[in-house]
Chain A
């Protein structure tokens, strides 16, 4: 097993992917912090609407622009960035990014305003399923093109399915090239037909279900978009190319329970299938075994009681039960991690132990980094040593 620094060595973009609740935001922020401390100019991007990263970095609010994390704040937590090291953070606003994209691709101001002013656009641009995923990559692409940072770390959206993220640009391209839009835009397309010419059976059935008004609004929306199709398609292709570029890598983040491990294995296979670069997997909150050999309650309890002395019976039993229950989970974690190592390769695996306190600030991120940036031997020592 290895360190995070080794697995992402030489990359310019690190994408942290995984299902919800496995510690993606924390891991992304910790990687960014650690690399900044090692002298890189790093920006971490999150699109989590819950502003988790802002909380983690002690920033009141992250805007749609990169903001530098105060070096004094880092120093206060014992993090002294090496020469040139800077930590920046930004929280993506999907709607703002979408608006900016429309403005970029519109033929002229009138076309831009037609889309931005369209009621359907206004309702969906913030909430459109998949739009967050795509907009995250769009922003990543933009920042990467600007070349302001040595390293970009992306915390992917909290979708239930990590694959949604990989699929986003492809879906957009398919949507455009699959002529879902064109059907509305041809002279004989839906837009024209809704307007009155032609009255196929299908259309009349459709009107009955959807209502004429909504149908007309939809076609107006798609028509307003028509001038931007080429721009969008071109952009989506370039974003997709960047994802598969050698400078980009994926770090899969998961937890030690059966389901997250299964998902990590599956996600890894999809990365390989899509010819994207898998760097490593971080398993968070692993309960390391504390040198136990599946003790029995009665026996362990007796040994503890002998150490505690007179009248320590009930307490000894409670302490024994506590260790045994911990060990049940530690054994499960060991089995699951072994299974993961078998399918992904031991050299790509980083375990971060389940810490006694919960990680939600800079001090916590620095603590996580003691494990992320260490080799496995050091990690075991830290996680199971008597001093820890």
Chain B
């Protein structure tokens, strides 16, 4: 088992479209198979995970997807209600606050508040001693975090609020969240990448920002969707003759082989660039030749993660 699954909190991030959700779920499946009680959190409304699990709606509640594997979609508004209740302890008082115009306006107008309460909820899920009603204890919380640009400001939110507030409850909570995020024993990050020019560039930048500016531990870079290296130069030379065939499909096979070889070569070049550009250890995942990345694909990938 990859050693970083022993941490309590893992943020899975990367450029848009690199397969963050798939990797987050594959990691969750793997950890659950290893006997860790795991929860995968979605932080935006896109519901990628529920789509994959064919759950019509995960929603803002802890749903069991498989043995030891849970999921939640973190809704900022619900997180805020829960947080305020934990602070005030009295439901009537919370409801009074939420009914007041002043509070709703303030909540809507304060920038970054959604991100702050979302991270607060993630923190809460990772507590051993959970204060919310029916809260279960998890060994591992995996977050399907926002893509590159938004991901950095998302993870920076606690510090931003700690700085803005200077003193008081928000200040101390901001500091506590920041301390959790930057605690290398407790929290880690996995950056998902693809063997292409721009994703490799962004992976290097993301590693720099998350580790340098925010101070997080980068446990792994996952190079996703690598093609199998099928044909040697001698093979290709031999296959070249297929392109003169009178059989359409045989000709197509020759063409597909040549294309595949060019893509493998391009991927290899990008993989070498990634190895040069990042400091974290790199794991690889194979390209999945399936029409959609479903649960079966995620299960297969779970076995592959090293």
Contacts and interface: CB of A to CB of B under 8 A. Distances in A.
Interface stretch (B27-35, B53-61, B107-115): B107-115
Chain B, interface size category, equals 35 or more
A201 B97 CA distance: 9
Nearest to B18: A21
Contacts of B238: 308, 312, 315
A326 to B, nearest CB: 5
B198 A209 contact: no
Given A179-B105, A205-B97, A292-B249, A356 B149 contact: no
A291 B249 contact: yes
B167 A218 contact: no
Contact of B96 (A22, A175, A205, A329): A205
Given A22-B17, A160-B16, A329-B289, A360 B170 contact: no
B290 interface: yes
Contacts of B146: 160
B285 interface: no
A290 interface: yes
Contact of A210 (B16, B170, B241): B170
Nearest to A295: B249
Interface in A293-309: 293, 295, 300, 303-304, 307-308
A259 B19 CA distance: 12
A122 to B, nearest CB: 9
Contacts of A295: 249
Contacts, number: 230
A129 B112 contact: yes
A212 B253 CA distance: 71
B276 interface: no
B160 A211 contact: no
Interface stretch (A60-68, A100-108, A317-325, A372-380): A317-325
Given A180-B105, A218-B106, A303 B250 contact: yes
Nearest to B258: A356
Contact of B44 (A25, A157, A161): A161
A353 B170 CA distance: 51
B160 A123 contact: yes
Contacts of A255: 17
A324 to B, nearest CB: 9
Interface stretch (A36-44, A46-54, A231-239, A270-278): A46-54
Interface string A208-232: 1111111001100010000000000
Interface string B230-264: 11000100110111010111111111110110110
B196 interface: yes
Interface string B1-33: 000000000000001111000000000000000
Contacts of A12: none
Nearest to B90: A205
Interface in B121-172: 146-150, 153, 156, 160, 163-171
A180 B109 CA distance: 6
B16 to A, nearest CB: 2
A202 B15 contact: no
Interface string B202-227: 10010000000000000000000000
Contacts of A303: 247, 249-250
B51 A259 contact: yes
Nearest to A222: B109
A159 interface: yes
Contact of A208 (B18, B87, B160): B87
Interface string A351-388: 00000111010000000000000000000000000100
A290 B292 contact: no
B45 interface: yes
A19 B5 CA distance: 30
Interface in A130-184: 131-132, 157-161, 175, 178-181, 183-184
A262 B238 CA distance: 42
Contact of B239 (A180, A212, A218, A319): A319
A210 B248 contact: no
Contacts of B196: 358, 360
A304 B262 CA distance: 21
Nearest to B234: A315
B197 A358 contact: yes
Interface string A241-278: 00000000000000101110000000000000000000
Contact of A128 (B112, B245, B256): B112
A295 B250 CA distance: 10
Contact of A19 (B16, B111, B243): B16
B290 to A, nearest CB: 7
Nearest to A217: B164
A258 B297 CA distance: 15
A70 to B, nearest CB: 21
Contacts of A119: 163-164
Interface string B272-292: 000000000000000001111
Interface string A10-43: 0000000001111001000000000000000000
A203 interface: yes
Contacts of B168: 210-214
A190 interface: yes
Given A179-B105, A190-B102, A356-B266, 12 more contacts: A50-B205, A160-B150, A180-B108, A209-B87, A209-B97, A210-B168, A218-B106, A218-B110, A257-B292, A300-B253, A318-B230, A318-B231
29 contacts: A20-B16, A21-B18, A25-B198, A55-B198, A123-B160, A123-B163, A123-B164, A127-B112, A127-B153, A127-B156, A129-B114, A158-B15, A158-B149, A190-B102, A205-B93, A205-B97, A209-B84, A209-B87, A214-B165, A218-B106, A303-B249, A304-B250, A308-B242, A315-B235, A319-B239, A319-B256, A320-B253, A332-B292, A358-B266
Interface pairs A-B: 5 shortest CB-CB: A21-B17, A20-B16, A211-B168, A290-B252, A21-B16
